[in-house]
Chain A
């Protein structure tokens, strides 16, 4: 998606890269919608969500390192929901006797599966978009100009700030502030006080530079993207069908 993400995770080089940027964004959004629509409480729904997520991750060629990191992060974020099972069982004593979807583990499983799917689909899509792809894609999709301008600015400045962040992180680690305890707390208290004024100062410098270089006269539409091609159209139609299947699963028309 940008230097930032690619620096962190690496760049995906799967077959999805053949699509236009707007085609990739649209496909990612449709698949997220499909997975969120499909129910996690049935075997068919679970299989559907897992298959769609896996297929898109492969299509985007999400780097192994990124996949591993996101898997660990997902486990850390969504497994704790299963700690709610005893509480749910207490709230609904009848649920303990019931089969899986209606049992107390149903809701945590729903969060786990949908959460992991959302995370992987977004990460896969992000890994397939190059530094300028996102801007071109958003403009081609007729996303409001203000949103595009902000996204472009945020990503550009994130790239610029990344090295500084790394230096700060290294300095924290060298001073023993990379764990818990006194040093960590001291760093925690000082960090925003040091960091935020620097950001404000930086924003002023960037604003001055933008004015000086005539950025104001730049119309964002000059960064055009190629129109949707036949391959894009076919993929989008296919994914709309995937969304329809998800809706059918949700409505119980397919079991």
Chain B
């Protein structure tokens, strides 16, 4: 569920869960130092950092960084610590926001990353930033800058060690909580899988395969698929796009075709027997492939059926090679597709295809570079690339109609 913030549209929406986590962690960051001061070690172990660094493992970068920036100032006003002058509160806010944004950002790209491997460099970078700020400010007001910076380095290490010990086990809880948070979506996905399983055997009979095959061949030509590419076909259904792609690929090319419905995969397997294709039953939000596995991901006629599209885009971004390309493609007008889904009802009755501009914005939010967004009477195509060398589609066109 989304929270409506007074000026939310520019920034996107935060979920109630994000806000609850920010509130709880911020509260802990205000109170934990009080407990540490009981044992008179509050200033050594940087207790305020613990909840705010932990928070970055549970929420996206903007709320994590904003909470980390706000809490030191709030604490300064309420408890007098950290002081407003010298501007320790400001330095801590900058350091914490920097670390939180970095951790949450890294986890968006690599959700399964080892917590310690993420933490150690980030904590060191954060401390380096803090020390640099202390050094610069000490010079400005005439305090011994080298001494103050050295003191900051020495006083930071116990806190960093404590965070390395305490935060990773707590951060691992996010896997369990994420699964719980996604439970309703997984139930919806299971409903859709059952729906498509139910129509798998008659799927091809419902379509004009000759016309579709012509559209696919022309589309693939236009996408610029190279013969030796490694392609992920998301929502492959009975394998119509897969077959068209195989005609384009050389013996070195490979296709991995995934679908959430096992009977669709079974039908495709019966239809196409080619060693260049690997068939898998999989949810696009949870692909069991290593990072940077594919040159190209094509999501043909499947995007409206994905409930959590941000998670899907993040997962696609993960498995795309740097410079790799994603196409969200339909060979018909958006309005027509939405009419068909509404008429079908049941598990897919509310699976509406959003305007191409909206999809492009979502992909950009997830870190993909949008190259084209076409939404006209003939087709729907949003093309985006992962940053890095090798992008071969300089595009950048946006066209919408109707």
Measured CB to CB, the residues of A under 8 A from B are 1-2, 4-5, 8, 32, 36, 70, 73-74, 77-78, 81, 84, 87-88, 91, 106-108, 110-111, 114-115, 117-119, 122-123, 125-126, 139, 144-151, 153-158, 160-162, 165, 168-169, 172-173, 177-180, 184-185, 187-188, 191-193, 195-197, 199-200, 202-204, 206-207, 210-211, 215-221
Q: B288 on the interface (CB 8 Å rule)?
A: no
Given contacts A161-B27, A188-B45, A220-B5, contact A150 B66 (CB under 8 A): yes
How many angstroms between the C-alpha atoms of A123 and B77 in the bound complex? 6
Residue of A nearest to B31 (CB): A165
Q: B368 on the interface (CB 8 Å rule)?
A: no
Residue of A nearest to B59 (CB): A203
| A2 cross-chain contacts in B, Cβ below 8 A | 78
**Could you list some 28 contacts between A and B, CB below 8 A?**
A88-B144, A106-B142, A110-B141, A115-B84, A115-B86, A118-B76, A126-B77, A144-B7, A145-B7, A146-B8, A157-B23, A161-B28, A165-B35, A179-B40, A180-B40, A188-B45, A191-B35, A193-B169, A196-B50, A196-B166, A196-B167, A203-B25, A204-B17, A204-B20, A211-B16, A218-B4, A219-B4, A221-B6
Interface pair A73/B80, CB less than 8 Å apart: yes
Interface pair A200/B58, CB less than 8 Å apart: yes
Interface pair A197/B170, CB less than 8 Å apart: yes
Interface pair B27/A157, CB less than 8 Å apart: yes
Given contacts A119-B80, A146-B62, contact A107 B38 (CB under 8 A): no
Interface pair B22/A148, CB less than 8 Å apart: no
Chain B, 67-87, contact with A by CB distance < 8 Å: what is the 0/1 string?
A: 100110010111111011110
Interface pair B83/A118, CB less than 8 Å apart: yes
Q: Is the interface of B mostly helix, strand, loop or mixed?
A: helix
Interface pair A84/B34, CB less than 8 Å apart: no
Knowing that A73-B81, A199-B28 are A-B contacts, what are 14 other residue pairs whose CB atoms are under 8 Å apart, sorted by A's residue number?
A8-B78, A84-B144, A110-B142, A126-B77, A139-B6, A147-B66, A155-B27, A158-B26, A160-B27, A192-B170, A200-B24, A203-B23, A216-B2, A220-B5
Interface pair A157/B26, CB less than 8 Å apart: yes
- Chain B interface size, as a band, is 35 or more
Chain A CB count within 10 A is highest, among B62, B79, B141, for: B79
Interface pair B78/A4, CB less than 8 Å apart: yes
| B78 cross-chain contacts in A, Cβ below 8 A | 1-2, 4-5, 8, 123, 126
Which chain B residues (206-251) contact chain A, with CB distance < 8 Å? none
Chain B, 115-151, contact with A by CB distance < 8 Å: what is the 0/1 string?
A: 0000000000000000000000000011110010000
Q: From the candidates B24, B30, B34, B71, name the one contacting A206 in the complex (CB within 8 A).
A: B24
Residue of A nearest to B143 (CB): A107
| A196 cross-chain contacts in B, Cβ below 8 A | 28, 50-51, 54, 166-167, 170
How many angstroms between the C-alpha atoms of A96 and B14 in the bound complex? 57
Interface pair B23/A216, CB less than 8 Å apart: no
Interface pair A115/B85, CB less than 8 Å apart: yes
A214 to chain B, nearest CB (A): 8
Q: B324 on the interface (CB 8 Å rule)?
A: no
Interface pair A156/B39, CB less than 8 Å apart: no
Residue of A nearest to B16 (CB): A210
Interface pair B39/A187, CB less than 8 Å apart: yes
Interface pair A148/B162, CB less than 8 Å apart: no
How many angstroms between the C-alpha atoms of A108 and B86 in the bound complex? 10
Interface pair A154/B177, CB less than 8 Å apart: no
Residue of A nearest to B86 (CB): A111
| A74 cross-chain contacts in B, Cβ below 8 A | 80
How many angstroms between the C-alpha atoms of A179 and B7 in the bound complex? 47
A29 to chain B, nearest CB (A): 10
| B17 cross-chain contacts in A, Cβ below 8 A | 203-204, 207, 211
How many angstroms between the C-alpha atoms of A221 and B124 in the bound complex? 40
Measured CB to CB, the residues of B under 8 A from A are 1-8, 11, 14-17, 19-28, 30-32, 34-36, 38-41, 45, 47, 50-51, 54, 58, 62-63, 66-67, 70-71, 74, 76-81, 83-86, 141-144, 147, 162, 166-167, 169-170, 173, 177, 180
Q: Nearest 4 A-B pairs (CB), nearest first?
A: A153-B23, A154-B26, A145-B6, A118-B84
Interface pair B3/A215, CB less than 8 Å apart: yes
Interface pair B41/A195, CB less than 8 Å apart: no
B94 to chain A, nearest CB (A): 16
| B23 cross-chain contacts in A, Cβ below 8 A | 150, 153-154, 156-157, 203, 206
How many angstroms between the C-alpha atoms of A219 and B2 in the bound complex? 11
| A211 cross-chain contacts in B, Cβ below 8 A | 1, 16-17
Chain A CB count within 10 A is highest, among B30, B39, B54, for: B39
Interface pair A192/B50, CB less than 8 Å apart: yes
Residue of B nearest to A110 (CB): B141
How many angstroms between the C-alpha atoms of A172 and B28 in the bound complex? 17
Interface pair A204/B85, CB less than 8 Å apart: no
Interface pair B81/A150, CB less than 8 Å apart: no
How many angstroms between the C-alpha atoms of A177 and B38 in the bound complex? 8
How many angstroms between the C-alpha atoms of A19 and B38 in the bound complex? 37
Residue of A nearest to B84 (CB): A118
| B170 cross-chain contacts in A, Cβ below 8 A | 192-193, 196-197, 200
How many angstroms between the C-alpha atoms of A144 and B9 in the bound complex? 12
How many angstroms between the C-alpha atoms of A72 and B227 in the bound complex? 75
How many angstroms between the C-alpha atoms of A218 and B6 in the bound complex? 10
Interface pair A161/B147, CB less than 8 Å apart: no
Interface pair A195/B32, CB less than 8 Å apart: yes
Interface pair B24/A202, CB less than 8 Å apart: yes
A203 to chain B, nearest CB (A): 4
Given contacts A161-B28, A196-B54, contact A172 B38 (CB under 8 A): yes
Q: From the candidates A84, A210, A215, name the one contacting B143 in the complex (CB within 8 A).
A: A84
| B54 cross-chain contacts in A, Cβ below 8 A | 196, 199-200
Q: From the candidates A154, A161, A184, A215, name the one contacting B71 in the complex (CB within 8 A).
A: A154
